[in-house]
Structure 1
Amino acid sequence: MNKVKEKCPKCGLKYSIEPAFYTGSMYVSYGVGIAVAVAAYVLTLIFGFNFGPTGILLSIVFALVVTMPYIGAVSKSIWAHFFFKYNPTIAKQVNNDSRS
């Protein structure tokens, strides 16, 4: 689950700079998880659910459990974007090579 390919199949870019490179995505995952928790709390307020403290906690936990795979994937993507920059020249070359 949430496996990252070792290299790009088209351009050969190595996705992992060093062993345990994506460990840093745990910090990003924490921030994304907090955002999901706050969104779940705000939605309970907007829709006027009177769950009480225990019900609100359970709704936040439910939202986090349901979105856990997405949080992991998004966090790895965000973490990777700190280190891998988009290069339009390489992208154009890869697109041209794939069309040939």
Structure 2
Amino acid sequence: MNKVKEYCPKCGLKYSIEPAFYTGAMYVSYAVGIAVAVAAYFLGLIFGFDFGPTGILLSIVGALVITMPYIGAVSKSIWAHFFFKYDSLIAKNVKDDSRA
């Protein structure tokens, strides 16, 4: 779980940059986790759940535990988009290869 492939099977792009890449992804993961926690809190308010402070805390922790694998994957993807550039020629070649 939460493992990233080393190279793209289609174009050969190397995914992992260096260990510091994961440090940056950790900061993005923190921000995404805060967004999930805030969303869980506001969804509780919208649906009219009145848990009290302990119930609110437990619902936020539960939402974070359930979404933990997705938060890790999304944060690495967001952080990687700062470094990997989109090349339309490579995308066209990969698309053409998949049709063959």
Q: What TM-score, normalized by structure 2, do the two folds share? A: 0.93
Alignment of 1:31-70 (within 5 A): 31-70=31-70
Give a deviation string over 1:76-95, Cα, whole Å, max 9, x none.
11011110111111100122
1:95 alignment partner in structure 2:
95
Give SS of 1:85's match.
coil
Report the identity percentage: 85
Give SS of 1:98's match.
helix
Instruction: Give the Cα–Cα distance (whole angstroms) in 2 for the partners of residues 9 and 16 of structure 1.
Output: 14
State the one-letter code of the partner of 2:59: S
1:20 Cα deviation after fit: 4.4
1:17 Cα deviation after fit: 1.8
State the one-letter code of the partner of 2:5: K
1:10 alignment partner in structure 2:
10
5+ long unaligned stretches in structure 1: none
Structure 1 residue runs of 4+, over 6 Å off?
none
5+ long unaligned stretches in structure 2: none
Give SS of 2:19's match.
coil
How many residues are paired up?
Answer: 100
State the one-letter code of the partner of 2:31: G
